[in-house]
Amino acid sequence: MKIIDASGAKIPAIGLGTYTLEGQDCVDMVARAIEIGYRHIDTAYMYGNEREVGEGIRKSGIAREELFVTSKVWWTDLAESDLLASARRSVETIGIGALDLLLIHWPNPDVALEESIDALCMTADQGLTQHVGVANFPSTLVDEASAMAARPLVCNQVEYHPFLSQEAVLSACRRHGMGLVAYSPIGRGGEVLNHPVIREAADRHGKSPAQIVLRWEIEQDGVGAIPRTSKPERLAENLDIFDFELTDDENAAITALTLRCERLINPSFAPHWDRA
Ligand SMILES: NC(=O)c1ccc[n+]([C@@H]2O[C@H](COP(=O)([O-])OP(=O)(O)OC[C@H]3O[C@@H](n4cnc5c(N)ncnc54)[C@H](OP(=O)(O)O)[C@@H]3O)[C@@H](O)[C@H]2O)c1
């Protein structure tokens, strides 16, 4: 397993995304993922499944220090007292002790960035998390937040797949020693997996289209991915990407697709994104 080393945080390059997993299915999928080798689990207060994620982790029996667990504070909770309360609630709900990483889920222009970044850093000072970071921050916000943070922001979790360039965000992350964790990394299982460039590479390597896409992501310096599946058989598929390499030509052809700039996640409260 590739590990991203970001300002001291050691983030396993493949993690399990858990958005929409719920109830006993979520418990079982998290436990199963850990049993077959996942060492990074991604949840959020907004997903409403932190309790089940924690239960799955305990069910797996894994030693706490073997696992990297991320949660997130929702964008309406970024004032200092709200952010601290949200972090405490997440830690209590997951029930495995301090988190490895706590992220601001989306920026909120109505709360001063400095207030939320200060409060985020306080969560680590208070022992609620080992590391802190952000999600959905465009490059200028990454620069601003990094400049004001009292401790390193170790990652920016953003949408990233072969149909969406994140060149500006990736450069910003590298400037500040941050990892980029790709969400919706297989384009939500949609058109990207049918593109001839992806399908032909899959045929050449005897891999699935999802494996080609995930491999393209994790071959990039400082990039990880958190694919989500509700199907136990796909858990192993999405992890089994460490026994082959894409050629330079394949990498270049997949990277060329990113100019399509087809963003899948763009809610009304999204920030002004970087242009490709
Ligand atoms: N920070 C944020 O704002 C943010 C936003 C969105 C997501 N996230 C995180 O990122 C995670 C992943 O993103 P996502 O759920 O949006 O999208 P994704 O992981 O790109 O795609 C999930 C979809 O792909 C399908 N799939 C999974 N493995 C597959 C495979 N090997 N072959 C074909 N299809 C496959 C799944 O269907 P089946 O279930 O049927 O397998 C599901 O419909 C989330 O769960 C969440 O943890 C964060």
Could you state, in order of their start, the residue ranges of all structural domains in the chain?
3-260
Which of 209, 243, 203 has its CA nearest to residue 227?
A: 209
- Residue 230 to residues 24, 28, 33, 162, 255: CA-CA distances in angstroms? 12, 10, 11, 22, 28
Whose Cα sits closest to atom 7 in ligand 1? 183
Q: Span 3-260: which CATH code?
A: 3.20.20.100
pLDDT in tens, the chain (276 residues): 899 999 999 999 999 999 999 999 999 999 999 999 999 999 999 999 999 999 999 999 999 999 999 999 999 999 999 999 999 999 999 999 999 999 999 999 999 999 999 999 999 999 999 999 999 999 999 999 999 999 999 999 999 999 999 999 999 999 999 999 999 999 999 999 999 999 999 999 999 999 999 999 999 999 999 999 999 999 999 999 999 999 999 999 999 999 999 999 999 999 999 987
Residue of 38, 47, 160, 183 marked catalytic? 47
Gap from CA of 19 to ligand 1 centroid (Å): 8
* 18, 186, 240: residue to mutate for ligand 1 pocket, most atoms within 8 A of CB: 186
For residue 247, the model assigns a pLDDT of 98
Q: Is the CB of 230 under 6 A from ligand 1?
A: yes
Q: The pTM is what? A: 0.98
Q: Is the CB of 18 under 6 A from ligand 1?
A: yes
Gap from CA of 127 to ligand 1 centroid (Å): 30
Residue 47 bears catalytic tag = yes
* Contacting residues for 48 by C-beta, under 8 A, at least 6 apart: 22
Q: Is the CB of 10 under 6 A from ligand 1?
A: no
For residue 275, the model assigns a pLDDT of 86
Gap from CA of 185 to ligand 1 centroid (Å): 7
For residue 155, the model assigns a pLDDT of 98
